[in-house]
Structure 1
Amino acid sequence: HIQGVWSIGAKSSVAHDSGTKDSGAFVPLKEIQGDSNLFHVIMKPGVDPGAELKEISWQFGPESDYRVMLHVYKWTDSPMWVTLQDKYKQRVHVPTMTTLRTENLTLEDSGRYQAIGDLTEGKAFIQMFHLIVFKPVLLPQILAKSFSITPGWCSVTLESRATGASENLNMTWENKGLPKNLDQTGTLGPDSNSRTLTLSLPVSQHLSRPNASLTCVVSNSIDKKNATLHLGEFCCTELGFQLAKIKFAAEERK
């Protein structure tokens, strides 16, 4: 359950007048496009323990222009929609009076949300959330751009290509069963969606191991995908070398 920044004050019919104070801060929440998100309202210490929650008003929008989405009342199981029904009604659910769930998140759901709770005893409180919805990271591709085999050596240039949106992606090369100095990392810029790695590897016990591999990991701040190339598949056998040549030629024709 996700909890936002909260504050308390005297009850008011207007969300931002002097009666109901908020802290002006938001808790950043990160989700992936297509997933669901759950906001959970929790009354914190400082709220009169004898006060009961009567109503919660959920609002969404820029800080200077919040729009009331819906009201949730203690005496009914169904929320009362006010605005934004076309955007949210089929995807927003109210499992309990103090929770709000949004299904099938879209990028447009990113923004600021606040829940205003009305209590008995003339009290009210606000909890605030800042939701950021990211596009999912897609599986990267590893392409053999060039390679050659000479006695005792396998030289290869690999390209790891990110598919889909490349903004704010981080790309890392990881190895298994190979010297540690082969690791490379890099951050993709707005006009780049690939990173190359050129290696000259001794055809030795390192490459003959079944687990000798290179993995390209592509990630953003919430999601991660990877693709793995087993080097022994084409560096250690004649059949693997011929298959790699065919794959390389096919890529060059694209």
Structure 2
Amino acid sequence: MTGAGRGLGAVRAEWTKLRTLHSTWWLLLALIALTVLAGAASTASLTASDCPVPADCHEDTVKLSLTGVWLGQGAVVVLAVLTMSGEYGTGTIRTTLTTEPLRLRILAAKAAVLCALTATASTVGVLGSLLAGRLLLSADGFAAPTLAEGPTLRAAAGTVLYLTLTALIGLGAATALRDTATAVTSVLALFYAFPLLAGLLADPDWQENARRAAPATAGLAIQATIDLDRLPIGPWAGIAVLAGYAVAALVTGGVLLRVRDA
């Protein structure tokens, strides 16, 4: 069999593993539900008392509609970690490595399937959030987000990319750490605790640099559609920072996967 054939076979094998696990579909549903519901709750909190003249309200309604990503990313992390650590927990990783000796091909196949599932569910969640935001904001007289506008389209596509890169970070961490609890805790701390710690720094310059380096703060800059000059980092530069974390996690995981025993 050619290398391409083996690669497709590895992808099919990983797809079969993930789709037959109930946890996969529950976590994808959680990603969609948390993203939409939390975003709708945040959007609904914007009332006339906050902006007496809704048409002149200087609120980033697109970013507000996509607030639920803060919760949805947690489901992505758990799914990504289980994609690899689940096999170490059950011991089936030995069978996987025996069937496919080229370990990096296994990691690449898992990454491909994980990215496809995450991107699909994220797209549903993002579009659902923007639709909910549009309905809620229009009802109160606020300017509603529409994908016909360039900044809104960039924020929507960028958010899907953000969640997909988050999944790759989780996969890389799980490959390196092997243990589900350790990997999930480490990645969630990186996304949730890092920004909080950055905000506690006393020196404004250090605080600004930490916010640029924090994966969540940097990556979610892609959602901003107004006041871009006030961001600690630009939208696409922030995604580049997040991509750097994903590459580092996958490279580290890939190296350790090759050199360690199963």
The answer to whether TM tops 0.5 is: no
TM range (shorter): under 0.3
Q: TM-score, normalised by structure 1?
A: 0.21
Higher strand share: 1
| Structure possessing the higher radius of gyration over alpha carbons | 1
